[in-house]
């Protein structure tokens, strides 16, 4: 059973929308089937980290992976650069022993002589990481696919940190790993149809200032032919008083913007409330995302990872070289 998040309960208590809209939003018990978003916190076959950041001014990211199975596992991974719109990728392979945790800083990479794993250093002001399980010796059963979990901690040059869990996709049907992952609700879990965030309104002139960033990446990606995907993104912004605002942008490969750059309605004076509920949907394809909240604390400003709630499911295709 999926459990409705706290934002949903607050939303339903306050909302005055029609019963038709409520029927679209209420969570119901369901199995793994077409139309479901990715199942999180379960051993999975594909992990996507939507934010990997590293630069020569002190920013870095620690990647953590865990093999939850009692069997050795091989992973094929790709960093995807988001500094421009070319989506250039850097590939590598990892071998994990039974139940092995592994971690590395992306600016340093990894050289594990015991498992012969080698991760190259990666530098980008914004990018992502994708890792897929390659079952050993041609095994096709699901127990050999759904084996991993992951987490990332991003360090900025100011010392502020953001920690978040990788988006995890389970394999749903037995079969070979071909490098073409159909996130269609039959082979692998689908991508989410909508992303829901509770966000803090931007206050750039406050003391201390408070501005949050939104990171978005397309769910479909062809790393073999290096064809960048451009998605038109629609936003529905709902204040605490149920006032609604809308806007749209386009995203190619990777996008990171302050909330108030996306829409002036996400400024505190315009919104009229401290927080907003943000609903995000890609028009021509699903998206994954993360909000980096700016949180005032003890006269200073810290950061926190704000992971979305998922609604519905949409198909996508991910192609590895």
Quickly list H helices, the chain: 6-14, 19-25, 259-262, 268-271
Domain ranges of the chain: 1-30, 46-183, 193-313
Measured between alpha carbons, how far is 302 from 69 in angstroms, rounded to an integer?
A: 36
Q: Which residues contact 175 (CB under 8 A, 6 or more apart)?
A: 140, 187
From its phi and psi, is residue 136 left (phi > 0), alpha (psi between -120 and 50) or beta? beta
Global pTM reads: 0.86
Residue 299 gets which letter from DSSP? T
Q: Measure the CA–CA gap between 181 and 253, rounded to whole angstroms.
A: 18
- The yes or no reply on domain 193-313 and CATH 2.60.290.11 is yes
**221-222 vs 316-319, strand pairing mode:** parallel
Tell me the HSE value of 278 on the side-chain side, using a 13 A CA sphere: 30
Domains 46-183 and 193-313 are alike in CATH topology: yes
Note down pLDDT in tens along the chain; length 321 residues.
Answer: 333 444 444 444 444 333 333 343 333 333 455 567 676 678 999 999 999 998 776 789 999 999 999 999 999 999 999 876 678 899 999 999 999 999 999 999 999 888 889 999 999 888 999 999 999 887 899 999 999 999 999 988 777 789 999 999 999 999 999 999 999 999 999 999 999 999 999 998 887 788 999 999 999 999 998 888 899 999 999 999 999 999 999 999 899 999 999 999 999 999 999 999 999 999 999 999 999 998 877 777 788 899 999 999 999 999 999
CATH of domain 46-183: 2.60.290.11
């Amino acid at each position: 059973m999926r459990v409705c998040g706290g934002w949903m309960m607050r939303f339903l208590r306050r909302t005055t929308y029609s019963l038709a809209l409520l029927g679209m939003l209420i969570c119901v018990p369901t199995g793994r089937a077409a139309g479901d978003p990715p199942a999180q916190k379960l051993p999975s076959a594909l992990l996507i980290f939507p934010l990997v950041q590293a630069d020569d001014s002190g920013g870095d990211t620690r990647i953590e992976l865990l093999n939850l199975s009692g069997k050795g596992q091989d992973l094929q991974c790709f960093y995807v650069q988001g500094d421009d719109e070319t989506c250039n990728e850097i590939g590598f392979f990892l071998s994990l022993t039974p139940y092995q945790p592994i971690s590395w800083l992306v600016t340093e990479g990894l050289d594990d002589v015991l498992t012969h794993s080698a991760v190259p250093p990666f530098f980008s002001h914004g990018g992502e990481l994708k890792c897929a399980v390659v079952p050993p010796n041609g095994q096709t059963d699901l127990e050999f696919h759904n084996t991993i979990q992951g987490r990332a901690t991003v360090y900025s040059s100011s010392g502020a940190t953001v920690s978040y869990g990788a988006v995890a996709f389970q394999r749903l049907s037995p079969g070979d790993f071909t490098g073409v992952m159909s996130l269609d609700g039959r082979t692998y879990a689908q991508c989410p149809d909508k992303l829901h965030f509770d966000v803090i309104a931007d206050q750039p002139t406050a003391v201390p200032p408070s501005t949050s960033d939104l990171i978005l990446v397309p769910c479909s990606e062809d790393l073999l032919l290096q064809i960048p995907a451009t998605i038109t993104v629609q936003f529905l912004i709902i204040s605490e008083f149920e006032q609604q605002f809308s806007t749209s942008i386009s995203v190619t490969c990777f996008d990171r913007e302050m909330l108030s750059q996306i829409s002036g309605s996400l400024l505190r004076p315009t919104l009229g409330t401290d927080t907003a509920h943000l609903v995000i949907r890609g028009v021509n394809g699903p998206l994954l995302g993360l909000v980096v909240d700016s949180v005032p604390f003890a006269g200073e400003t810290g950061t926190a990872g704000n992971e979305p709630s998922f609604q519905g499911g949409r198909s996508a295709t991910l192609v590895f070289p």
